[in-house]
Amino acid sequence: DSGVTQTPKHLITATGQRVTLRCSPRSGDLSVYWYQQSLDQGLQFLIQYYNGEERAKGNILERFSAQQFPDLHSELNLSSLELGDSALYFCASSVNDGETQYFGPGTRLLVL
């Protein structure tokens, strides 16, 4: 157990819908990262927050957005969902930039 929690574990929804994925970082970690992993693909970095502020953006679609709250948990919002958005979404956290990232168990999203 990495100490990073994600909810829900599984999510099944329809095209066009909107979902919210939630992540709680390890105690004391200020950075939260979101990754998308499609079948047989690597880890696609989406976005990073540090202590409530957006720190870096990767290959995140405009239909996706995220935020980090004062208690440091983070939410990833996915809207106007398409079939191709079906993937594993991982959250990771670290104490600071450049340090070890600890991954949560992931949310498996299936868009039908």
**Contact positions toward other proteins, by CB under 8 A?**
2, 33, 42-43, 45, 48, 55-56, 88, 90, 94, 97-106, 108
- Measured from the CB atom, the residue of 17 and 51 that comes closer to other proteins is 51
> Could you tell me the end-to-end alpha-carbon distance of the chain, in angstroms, rounded to an integer?
31
| AA identity, residue 20 | T
Are 76 and 18 in contact by the 8 Å Cβ rule? The answer is no
- Measured from the CB atom, the residue of 14 and 100 that comes closer to other proteins is 100
- Is 4 strand, coil or helix? coil
- Measured from the CB atom, the residue of 61 and 88 that comes closer to other proteins is 88
